[in-house]
Every structure is written in C-alpha cells, then in structure tokens.
Amino acid sequence: MKKLKAIKSGLIKRNTSLLKYALRTGKSLVLNNEDPKKILQGVIGKSPDEFISELSVFKGSITKAGQMLSQYAEIYLDEPLKSKLKSLQAQTDYLDFDKIKKQIHQVVFIEMDIEKEPLAAASIGQVHIATLKSNPEQKYVLKIQYPGISKAIDADMFFLKMLVKGINIVPKGVDSKNVFDEIERTLKSEMDYIREAKTQNDYIEKIDDPFFKIPRVEHKYSSKTVLCMDYVEGFALSKIDDYNPSQEVKNKIGEKIFDLFLREIYEFSLVQTDAHGGNYYIAHDFSCVYLLDFGACLSFKEETIQFYRNFIKFAYEENKEKFFQETDQFIEQWEGELEFDRDLMWDYICFLTNPLREENYSWGDQSFIDELYKKGRELQKTVRITAIPHQFIFLDRKILGVYTLLSSLKAQFNVKSIMDKNIN
C-alpha cells in the first residue's frame, strides 16, 4: 500500500478517469461481446498495475467498482491478474494518518494509542489498530472514514448519470434513474457508521451459529465517521490459499457461507450485500469465520424479499407455472414493462439452479459459468424492457459474491440438503 496525501474529490479530476474507463469498457464490450474474459482484459488494459493504482487513489464508488470487477475476475481471469485485482478488496492505497485523524474524537486519543499505518484500506475508509492505554492487552480496530468521501461520491454519481445518458449505454427507452437512486442511497448509507453499528448489533442478535463470529462494537469510541470494534486475529478469505488448508476445511467454510446466505434471505430479511473475500476473516486454526463490514448490510421490506424468496423456491422446485405466476405478479406491481421469451427464460432459470439440486456439487466447475453466459446472451436478445428493476440489484450482487467465494474455494458439499432446510 502507498500513502496518499489526499483523496481526489474534485469533479474534473475524478470524471476524467471515469470517462477513460467508461469508454474503454464500451469499446471492449463491442469488440468482445461473446467473450467475458477478453471483455475484462480490455477494461483493465495493458497495464494492470496502473489500472489498480488509479482505482486505489480515487476511493469511493470508483474503488467500489473495482472491487466488483475483482469478483468477476475470480470467475474469468487467471493468476496473477486475479490476485492483483483482489488487492482492491482491502489493500488499496491509504490516506496519511495526519489527514484522517481529524475524524477521530479526542477521547480516543486520550485513552488509546493508535498505530498510524493502517491494517487495511478500502473504498470509504481505512482500519487502524488501537491499544487501550490502561490495559495494553486490550486491542481495538478503528474504522475511520475518509474526509471528503461524500463529495467524491456525489461527483461520481453526477457524472455516471450524465455519461450513461450521453453515450447510450442503456438501450433507448429504458429508464435507469431508479437504479442510480438506489446505488447512491446505499453508498451514502455506508458512510453512516452509527447506522452500521446498529445494523451490526441487529445481525449479532439474529445469528446463532458459533461458526460465525462478529466483532463487538465499542460505542464509547464510535461516531458517525469512526467505528470502534474488538480486534480479531485471522486472515482474509481471499488469502486462504496462502495458509494451505485442506479441501475439507474449504468445503466446510463454503457450506457455511452458502447456508448463511439462505438464512439472510429466508430468516433474517437482513443481507450483507458486499460479499467479497475481504469481508470474511478466517481464524488461524480455521475454527470460525469473522464477519466484517456491515455498512452494505440492507434490511428489505417483507413484500420485496418475499418475491425473491419465491423466485428462488419455485426455480429450485422447477415449478414453471408458479415461477411465472410470481414473475407476472412482480411485473404488475413494478413501475416498468418487461417482455422476454418464456421458453428461453425457463431454460436459463433451470440451468442456473441446477447446482442447487445437487447432493455433491463442485463449485469450481468453470464449464457451468461458461454455458450460463451463453444461455444468458441468447435470452438477452429477446428482452424488451422500459425500466430496470432496482429492488433486487444488491441481492443479485450478493449472489454473485457468494458464487465467487464458493468458486474460489472450489467447495464441494450437499447443496440440496441446505436448500431444503432453508426453503422449508
């Protein structure tokens, strides 16, 4: 990680970079529309280190976009490019402590010693270890928000809306306003650490699985821009191969993550949507997984998540009639119009959910994602839409994140039994 003196929050500086990558993405999509690997390589360009460095410097929604790109890279790209992109999940360039310390309440300095070099740095803030002066054995982590990050995100969203409208990324006649509004609202909510602390406590109350542990929030030292939590020992799931676990250990971790995802949907109605390897911390003895970062944890309205539950349930049960009844009901209540080839849609849905019906599925099967991409392209040609459904964009992001984690672990377990337990 490199030290930064400031985050570039100005409209012109940020948008020059955004425009470059937006145009590069558009060109890559046109040239390589049937090959996702080549599309990603085209976006990244000839110098991956330069690409990663630039995303690290800008922080905010630009770095967040890079984190999402790293999830696709897990599926489509080979090492070492994959490992380089993983750095965007927690080890981006960091802000000089002298520039960020003004975010911290004075009582923290009085009662704690803070390490000036961060433990991790991400899109909205960075994490520093702090030790209680009265008890040096007691360690905390301080998640400190970057000054000016709200202004930077405002600049990004303003430009992205203009860019999408100006270069016709979205087909003519399709309204994407509600999607941008949802993204902006969620990014802004991630910057409220008081809300995050409450959500973290809510999640602790819901989960009752000793395999998953969540650091306790120390409210005395927390504020809207600083979140103080217990320090935990371990390593990011994205680095698990460096610790040489057995495949049995990987299988168990994958199985528990998949089960937790379904519990979030069917039991909690509370979903941690930012499911990348940097947010799952593994104990050194592999006995548990620490869940980190609840800024992107969303609580869903019952009617919204019930649709999602039913989509998964009826697809899993291969109940075509009920699946499309649910689809039609959703379209009626939604503000847009949607048409598609139902036969192609059902073929896609059945193939997509095939792993869920397996008693011993291997998530490292690359042929599955390749075939799914082909079927998705065929289906996409038949879709006619006037607005993009925004209700599920972060749930869909969660599914991508979970699939990526299971794929990277090459986990193998009885998926069907976990589905049956949660759906029923």
**Per-residue pLDDT tens over the stretch 13-66:** 555 666 666 666 666 665 666 676 776 777 666 677 777 766 666 666 666 666
Question: How does the average pLDDT of the chain come out, rounded?
Answer: 84
Give the integer Cα–Cα distance in Å for 295 and 273.
Answer: 9
Reference 34, options 393, 376, 302; nearest CA is 376
> What was the pLDDT predicted at 395?
87
Between 322 and 81, name the one with better pLDDT.
322
**Per-residue pLDDT tens over the stretch 117-162:** 999 887 788 999 999 999 999 999 999 998 878 777 776 777 666 6
What is the arithmetic mean of pLDDT over 349-355? 96
Domain residues of the chain, as ranges? 3-93, 233-424
> What was the pLDDT predicted at 166?
54
**Dihedral over Cα of 411, 416, 421, 422: its sign:** positive
> What was the pLDDT predicted at 305?
93
**Per-residue pLDDT tens over the stretch 393-407:** 888 889 988 998 999
Contact between 336 and 176 under an 8 Å Cβ cutoff? The reply is no
Q: What is the 3-state secondary structure (H, E, C) of the chain?
A: CCEECCCCCCHHHHHHHHHHHHHHHHHHHHHCCCCHHHHHHHHHCCCHHHHHHHHHHHCHHHHHHHHHHHHHHHHHCCCCHHHHHHHHHCECCEECHHHHHHHCCHHHHHHEEECCCCCEECCCEEEEEEEECCEEEEEEEEEEECCCHHHHHHHHHHHHHHHHHHCCCCCCCCECHHHHHHHHHHHHHHCCHHHHHHHHHHHHHHCCCCCEECCCECHHHCCCCEEEEECCCCEEHHHHHHHCCCHHHHHHHHHHHHHHHHHHHHHHCEEECCCCHHHEEECCCCCCEEECCCCCEEECCHHHHHHHHHHHHHHHCCCHHHHHHHHHHHHHHCCCCEECCHHHHHHHHHHHCHHHHCCCEECCCHHHHHHHHHHHHHHHCCCEECECCCCCHHHHHHHHHHHHHHHHHCCEECHHHHHHHHHC
**Per-residue pLDDT tens over the stretch 100-125:** 999 999 999 999 999 999 998 877 88
> What was the pLDDT predicted at 94?
82
Between 229 and 90, name the one with better pLDDT.
229
Contact between 183 and 394 under an 8 Å Cβ cutoff? The reply is no
CA angle 156, 65, 351 (to 5 degrees): 135
- Tell me: pLDDT of 274 over 90: no
Pairing of strands 338-339, 235-236: unpaired
How far is CA 226 from its chain centroid?
21
Q: Which of 70-84, 223-237, 290-304, 410-424 has the lowest mean pLDDT?
A: 70-84
The encoded tokens of residue 330 equal 């959703």
